[in-house]
């Protein structure tokens, strides 16, 4: 007579195991949409970086690009512009930063196109633009002058033009973000 009790216990263990498994599957089925909704959408992922072909930019030229709905300058610097940026006494700067710390390749400067004073877009990207006393960028709103490395040199702007995360995928393709 002890055999029927053993059979009942085995059946009870099986039913408990099956109920636990079904409950686990139900919990995962319920939780998955909640967890998945926390992932960034494809729209957001598309804005996380941008790639552009810089092969058509000539030395001395700059273009204005948008990344994350904000403007950025991409400038192909000339040898004199690079030399001028490298010769600056860092101790004389309001926000000391060496040129080599602001560029990935010395020929290319990638900086925010929003003045750090009040967010105006400085001049210096178009041919014939006033590039200020230091040959970089000039903000006409309140008179801030930036050098060829995007560092503040004169005027009310408190900081250098920020450098976004960027790198070169190939010699011709620049990835921002």
59 CB-near residues (< 8 Å, 6+ apart) = 76, 77, 78, 79, 107
pLDDT (0 to 100) of residue 3: 62
Dist CA 142 CA 3 (whole Å): 94
Q: Residues near 95 by Cβ (< 8 Å), separated by ≥ 6?
A: 151, 152, 158, 159, 160
| CATH class of domain segment(s) 46-176 | mainly beta
pLDDT in tens, 1-33: 456 677 778 888 888 888 888 988 888 888 888
User: For 143-171, what is each residue's pLDDT tens digit?
Assistant: 999 999 999 999 999 999 999 998 888 98
Indicate which residues carry an active-site annotation.
Answer: 142
pTM of the full structure:
0.70
């Amino acid at each position: 007579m002890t055999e029927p009790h053993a059979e009942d216990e085995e059946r009870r263990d099986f039913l408990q195991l099956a109920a636990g498994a079904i409950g686990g599957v139900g919990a995962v089925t319920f939780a998955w949409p909640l967890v998945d909704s926390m992932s960034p959408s494809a729209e957001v992922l598309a804005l996380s970086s941008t790639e552009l072909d810089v092969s058509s930019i000539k030395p001395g030229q700059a273009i204005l690009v948008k990344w994350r709905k904000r403007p950025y300058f991409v400038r192909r610097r000339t040898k004199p512009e690079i030399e001028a940026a490298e010769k600056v006494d860092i101790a004389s700067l309001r926000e000391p930063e060496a040129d080599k710390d602001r560029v990935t390749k010395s020929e290319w400067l990638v900086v925010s196109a929003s003045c750090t004073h009040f967010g105006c877009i400085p001049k210096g990207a178009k041919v014939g633009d006033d590039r200020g006393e230091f040959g970089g960028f000039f903000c006409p709103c309140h008179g801030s002058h930036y050098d060829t490395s995007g560092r503040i040199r004169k005027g009310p702007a408190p900081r250098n033009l920020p450098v976004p995360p960027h790198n070169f995928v190939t010699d011709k393709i620049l990835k921002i973000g």
